[in-house]
Amino acid sequence: MSELVDSHSRATRGYVAPFVAFVVSMVVERMIPLPGQWLYPVRFVIVLALILAFSLPYLKVRPAFPLASIAVGLAVFVIWIAPDVLFGYRHHWLFENAITGHAESSLPPYLKQNFGFMALRCVSSFALVPVLEELFWRGWMMRWLIDKHFLKIPLGTYSPSAFWLVAVLFASEHGPYWEVGMAAGIAYNWWMIRTRNLADCILAHGVTNAALSAYVLYSDQWQYWL
């Protein structure tokens, strides 16, 4: 019995700890204005260390459907920017208010000219964030909501309540972009159910973030990096 408890605790730590560290670092950033040029590297190192220390046993690095996962990631990217490009409604009170915040970049202008910082920001966006978020949302929470002993639940198991609650919580994480965050959460949840493979969701999520990073740098639309 103790071995099962230890195994469950290790798995919970592996799926949850990187995400919690990332969120805590953002809370600290909002409470205490710290210089971004060293806060981002510290955050990156801490989260990467947690992934290497605790999460590797639960990461399958080979996607089962790589081309389809890339297509899903690009589709989510299009969904993410299309409302602003086509309709420009982002500043409506439904999306910018005291609860969701505002669609504006938190990066000071001098950091936008810092090549090293921007390179790290991009790498974090498409290589680190998809890993920690997919571990937490699709790897852990979608199963934990079905059964607290989540290791008994296979990846990609469908439960309507878990599916929609994760989608809503994932949307809430994205502030003024909550409606496209909801669409992204639905797409990634659906892809997990279809593939039953965390690597496919990480790849799709990474492609979305890589495309969004390229779009931000190319179009100077910094509001996508809150």
Q: Torsion over CA of 102, 83, 138 and 166, rounded to 10 degrees?
A: 70
Give the Cα separation of 68 and 74 in Å (integer): 10
pTM: 0.94
Predicted confidence at residue 113, as pLDDT, reads: 87
**What angle is formed at CA 224 by the lines to CA 163 and CA 42, rounded to 5 degrees?**
90
- pLDDT single digits (tens) 27-47: 887 777 766 677 888 899 999
Using DSSP's 3-state secondary structure scheme, residue 101 falls into: strand
Please give the C-alpha separations between residue 122 and each of 115, 150, 167, in angstroms, as whole numbers: 11, 32, 25
Q: What is the pLDDT of residues 150-182, one digit of tens each?
A: 999 999 999 999 999 999 999 999 999 999 999
More confident of the two residues 32 and 112: 112
What is the predicted pLDDT for the residue at 5? 59
- Answer for the pair 146, 162: CB distance below 8 angstroms, yes or no: yes
**Is 140:150 a contact under the CB 8 Å cutoff?**
yes
Asked if residues 202 and 127 have their Cβ atoms less than 8 Å apart, the reply is no
Residue 1 pLDDT level (bands cut at 50, 70, 90) = low
Mean pLDDT of the chain: 92
